[in-house]
Amino acid sequence: MLTASGSGTYLWDDSSTDAARTVMSAGTYTVTVTGSNGCTATASASVTSDTTPPTASVSPRRQYLLALLPA
C-alpha cells in the first residue's frame, strides 16, 4: 500500500483520489497533491515485484482417541 501525505486533495496516476492506494504489481506510481491555495506537489514511488514463490509444507499430525471403558 502506498500512502500520500500533505494537506489537500490527492490525484494518483490511475485517477484515484484517496490518500492511500493499494498496488498489486511492480511499477512506478505517481501522486499529485493540490493544496487549498492551488499549489501542487508531485511524488513518485517505485515498487519492485517479489517473484519468489511462497513455500508450503504439511506434516502428519497424530491424533489419539481415548475411550473410557467401564471397569
Going by the DSSP 8-state scheme, the letter that residue 71 receives in this structure is -
For residue 32, the model assigns a pLDDT of 96
Backbone Cα Rg of the chain: 25
Q: Are 23 and 13 in contact (CB under 8 A)?
A: no
Where are the domains positioned within the chain? 2-47
pLDDT over 90 at 45, yes or no? yes
Locate 26 and state its grid cell.
Answer: 511492480
User: pTM higher than 0.85 for the full model?
Assistant: no
For residue 24, the model assigns a pLDDT of 85
pLDDT band at 42 (very low <50, low <70, confident <90, very high): very high
Q: How far is CA 12 from the centre of its chain?
A: 16
For residue 51, the model assigns a pLDDT of 66
Complete DSSP assignment for 6-20: SSSEEEETTS--SSE
